[in-house]
Amino acid sequence: MSDAPPPDPVPSAAVILLRDGAAGLEVLMQRRREQASAFAGVVVFPGGKVAAIDAHPDFHALADLGPPAPFEPARQLAALRELFEESAILLARGEAPGAARDALLPHRENLDRDPTLWPAVLGKLKLRLAADLLVPWARWVTPDFAPRRFDSTLFAAAAPEGQTPIGGREADEYLWARPTDVLAAAEREELYIVFVTRMNLMRLAQYATVAEALAAGRRGPYPTIQPKKAETPQGDVVRIPPDAPYPVHELPFKYTSTAVDARRRAKAAEKR
């Protein structure tokens, strides 16, 4: 057993994109490519690592930022940047209403490969990122026992009308579904979700509409949630703080990212 300290968590941000469907609240999920740098083959919310450019004043000057608390501007911009790079969904404002995404799409591949281009491209196209549309949702830190760790900020937002996800370098399959339907599919192992995704889908399942979910996000609270492993007579479990705004605070260890990825890899190997 290694005595090495756990790796430092990498700052990241993601967007829980919501819409009102015919049968209730729906959330946008994406399946990451098998070649993705993290969470390969897993169904997640669009998001990724915070980049140095996300903290740059030139980038901030081209955004309508939300309040600096509870989550700072760099995380707000990382969430919007990654949302566009991974799914082509854009929360932004321009001179021509509704035309912002069409103007930015030709630059998507270059922005994905070199995020430092964002300020120049936004300025040239006279666009502003609409970070004020993001609603703070939660902050999760990967457990110490995980081989890869993230300090992830989650935001919720209403989906912009008329924008369909488009595959990119990191993800190529997208799904609008009710949270309960995603959870059921994961139980059948038709798709794979990690612990933090499962917990947030369970939280979302409490709400019937986008308005209800966003109102809950605005109410908070926003504790930093770092799951802990615990032993029980029924087996190992993973727990989160009891004051976290979630309907459950403990799940069996089989739902951890490490265990889920092991099952996903084993199933993929069987198909070869």
pLDDT value at position 172?
Answer: 86
Pairing of strands 228-232, 135-141: unpaired
Using 50 as the pLDDT threshold, list the residues of the chain that sit under it: 1
Report pLDDT digits (tens) over 122-132: 999 999 999 99
Instruction: Scan for tokens 């490490």, then name that residue.
Output: 258
Peptide bond between residue 245 and the one before it cis (omega within 30 degrees of 0) = no
Q: Given this model, what pLDDT does residue 236 score?
A: 93
User: What is the reported pLDDT for 73?
Assistant: 98
Nearest in space to 26 (alpha carbons), one of 210, 195, 188:
210
Q: Which pLDDT score is estimated for 193?
A: 95
Where do the domains of the chain lie, and which CATH numbers do they carry?
10-220 (3.90.79.10)
